[in-house]
Amino acid sequence: MAGPLPLGDPAPADGRLPSDLSIDPAVPFSAYLHVPFCRVRCGYCDFNTYTSGELRGAKQEDYASTLITEIDLASRVLADAGTLRPMDTVFFGGGTPTLLPAGDLARMLDAATDAFGLVDGAEISVEANPDTVTPEVVRILADAGVTRLSIGMQSAVPHVLAALDRTHRPENVTTAVAAAKDAGLAVSVDLIYGAPGESLADWEASLDAALALESDHVSAYALIIEDGTKLARQIRRGEVPMPDDDLQADMYELADARLAAAGFDWYEISNWSRSVEQRSRHNLAYWRGSDWWGFGPGAHSHVAGLRWWNVKHPAAYAQRLAASESPAAGTERPDEESATLERILLLSRIREGIAVADLPADKRARVAGLIADGLVDAVAAVRGRVQLTLRGRLLADAVVRELTD
């Protein structure tokens, strides 16, 4: 289970949006559908997920119908605000969405499509554990309109998977990718590097295995130790070592070089694709600050600068909706300073970067120092944009601090 929800203002029971919220109908709209179920809890994970023994009365078999109730509420709220828009992207995340029957995922997608519509060429992604992917599952998803499968590989090395508490069979990654390709879906492979005991050679073996799959997209995330996780407790007790920052930097540079040699280009610090068309549009919508509604327990939403988040537990989520109430637990509207910080934090991570003109006026002169330090591309800066170099990607937090503090 994730940590505590953020503090915020009370959320209205009917879910209505503030009357003074200025919503731009030209801003793309996305839907995130959270499926909070997992067979086991991975030691590093702090997402809002639940194993069967933690559901306290909530039932997986009822989940699709419960979430569809929130979809109905969202469509009414947005229609009342005069801002009902078709979805540009849909993303099923978790948890393990494919723990639910594929027909349940299809039913949720149908409900969202009926409520909001889809733009032409909409991207519809499903996260999947390799052990839960079969040709039949993929066929049902493809027939429902899913366009992309994101497969949680994490590593190809058994002792690294064990350190992460990942229980899937590595060979099932290959069969999952093949099934997705056979159904005509785009494929992303997700990796994690820097696990306790993982060497640079281990990481290279995982990269070799991932590249052999010939996917369209690769995500590679450095392991972050989150408070409250099993892994954090193991490190605190001295049972496993803390990830080594220098080794993780070497792993990142190796990944970038190997992926580039295989025809991938980076478009966000932790994401590479074979073409512009194969970038994750859903993730880009988040980094660019577009609007999205997050459905499900603990899901976060953002519309025109207003943020809100749902109650965490599936049982509490279901109870709210059964009482014809919004499941939102709280809301916030960041002030201008906070919004500027977030915009710089997010946009600086992606390849297109952020316009120098969009930086605070008193911070723009600092771009020259970032160029001198090799963190920002000089040619891009002359053209008016802050774009990170490879060194800048490794030190992205330092770049953000320099542009905001």
Could you tell me if 275 and 372 lie in one domain? no
Instruction: List C-alpha distances in Å: 63 to 54, 126, 127, 238, 362.
Output: 15, 16, 17, 39, 50
The whole-number mean pLDDT for each consecutive block of 10 residues of the chain, a chain of 405 residues, reads 76 96 96 95 90 87 98 98 96 96 98 98 98 97 98 97 93 98 98 97 98 98 94 93 96 98 98 98 97 98 98 97 98 95 97 97 98 98 98 98 96
Structural domain includes residue 22: no
CA 154 to CA 220: how far, in whole Å?
8
Residue 7: its pLDDT value, please?
A: 75
Residue 3: its pLDDT value, please?
A: 67
Largest Cα separation within the chain, whole Å, is 59
> 275 φ, ψ to 5°?
-155, 165
Compute the half-sphere exposure of residue 213: CA atoms within 13 Å on the CB side of its CA.
Answer: 34
The CATH number of the domain holding residue 162 is 3.20.20.70
Residue 4: its pLDDT value, please?
A: 72
Could you tell me if 41 and 107 lie in one domain? yes
193: DSSP letter:
E
Helix (H) or strand (E) run with residue 98 in it? none
Structural domain includes residue 193: yes
351 three-state secondary structure: coil
263 three-state secondary structure: coil
- DSSP labels, 212-238: HTT-SEEEEEE----TTSHHHHHHHTT
Question: CA-CA-CA-CA torsion for 45, 255, 267, 300, nearest 10 degrees?
Answer: 0
Could you tell me if 236 and 380 lie in one domain? no
| Residue at which a domain ends, from 257, 287, 317 | 287
Q: What's the pLDDT tens digit per position in 172-214?
A: 999 999 999 999 999 999 999 999 999 999 999 999 999 999 9
47: DSSP letter:
S
**Tally of domains in the chain:** 2
The CATH number of the domain holding residue 389 is 1.10.10
Residue 1: its pLDDT value, please?
A: 55
Q: Are strands 300-303 and 306-310 parallel, antiparallel or unpaired?
A: antiparallel
| Partners of residue 313 on adjacent β-strands | none
Query: What is the pTM (predicted TM-score) of this model?
Result: 0.96
323 three-state secondary structure: coil
CA 156 to CA 234: how far, in whole Å?
23
Amino acid, single-letter form, for residue 44: Y
Residue 362: its pLDDT value, please?
A: 97
| Residue at which a domain ends, from 264, 287, 310 | 287
The answer to whether 189 touches 213, Cβ cutoff 8 Å, is yes
Residue 320: its pLDDT value, please?
A: 98
Residue 194: its pLDDT value, please?
A: 97
Rg (CA), the chain: 21
Structural domain includes residue 16: no
Residue 135: its pLDDT value, please?
A: 98
305 three-state secondary structure: coil
| Residue at which a domain ends, from 250, 267, 287 | 287
Residue 2: its pLDDT value, please?
A: 63
Residue 175 exposed, middle or buried by CB count within 10 Å (0-12, 13-18, 19+): middle
Amino acid, single-letter form, for residue 131: D
Amino acid, single-letter form, for residue 243: P
Residue 16: its pLDDT value, please?
A: 97
Please give the residue range of the domain that contains residue 341. Answer: 335-405
